[in-house]
Structure 1
Amino acid sequence: MSIAHDAPTALAQNWCALSSLHERIASRIERRLQAEHELSVREFSLLNVLSRQDEGKGGHLQMRQVADALVLSQSATTRLVTRLEDRGLLARTICADDRRGIYTNVTEEGAALLRAATPTNDAALREALDEARRDPELKPLVDALEATDMASSGIG
């Protein structure tokens, strides 16, 4: 067997770099959100996804759609929703059109916490990206992420 077959492919190396970047970012954001708002990254993401559900054409999201947006199983999403509901940050209501349907909405307390935590999330993200940019292996990924952000916001 030749050494070339044992060496990681460029794709595998890039995947490892992307995974490392993700972990660095998530870890930084997690520490800041926990310290300043007693909120996990997953909890912040759930509040964020649910707060934007009325902006789309579909109105309320089904739990499967929420799970997909959070990249969690439906059971893990349900446990997360229950935790935030127990804290008064979310409320479930029965759909008026289909009594089998249950909507999950962000409460005023949840919306206030999301508004307070968003600048913390954004600052931690910026700090993590600035730090990652100094790593030659991660810099191209940071540049690509920021180029995508600028293109989607109409800048550049």
Structure 2
Amino acid sequence: MSDVAERGLVRQWHDLQALHAAVSGALEARLQERHGIGVTEFEALEQLATADRKCRGTELTEVVHLSQSATSRLVARMEREGLVERSLCEDDRRGVFVNLTAAGRRRYDEAKPTHREVLAEVLARA
């Protein structure tokens, strides 16, 4: 790879990181201010609200891009807030499903327009 190509590649990477930071920061601030949740909580709520079947805890880990233990803490916090509930898989007692509660559905429905508004604002400037 030539030096010019390498510099271009690294510049693209830095631009991508800057865009991610701008979007994440704006989402975090606005979702917290208006709805009392952060980006990760919103992503978890969206996965649960749009899944066409029950969501296993391990699937949620992939969506929120956290470690398994961090996702478990996230789910526990959301459960304390009444946004989700956990249930055991009847076929595999080791499996845990995470289910959206009515309160979680309301919070998601209220926060979704804010999420989309921020995406439109920040990505339009990119």
Q: TM-score normalized by structure 1? A: 0.74
What corresponds to 1:102 in structure 2? 96
What corresponds to 1:130 in structure 2? 124
Q: Which runs of 4+ in 1 moved over 6 A?
A: none
List alignment gaps of at least 5 residues for structure 1.
133-156
What corresponds to 1:12 in structure 2? 10
Residue identity matched to 1:18: L
Tell me which of the two structures has the higher relative contact order, counting C-alpha pairs closer than 8 angstroms and 6 or more residues apart.
Answer: 2
The yes-or-no answer on 1:61 pairing with 2:55 is: yes
Larger Rg: 1
1:31-42 equivalences under 5 Å are 31-42=29-40
User: Share of identical aligned residues, percent?
Assistant: 37
- C-alpha separation between the residues in 1 aligned to 2:14 and 2:28? 21
TM superposition shift of 1:103: 0.9
List alignment gaps of at least 5 residues for structure 2.
none
TM superposition shift of 1:97: 2.6
TM superposition shift of 1:8: 5.3
What corresponds to 1:91 in structure 2? 85
The yes-or-no answer on 1:82 pairing with 2:76 is: yes
- Give the CA RMSD over aligned residues: 1.8
- C-alpha separation between the residues in 1 aligned to 2:98 and 2:59? 12
Determine which structure has the larger helix proportion and give its number.
2
TM superposition shift of 1:65: 1.9
- C-alpha separation between the residues in 2 aligned to 1:60 and 1:101? 11
Task: Give the count of matched residue pairs.
Answer: 125
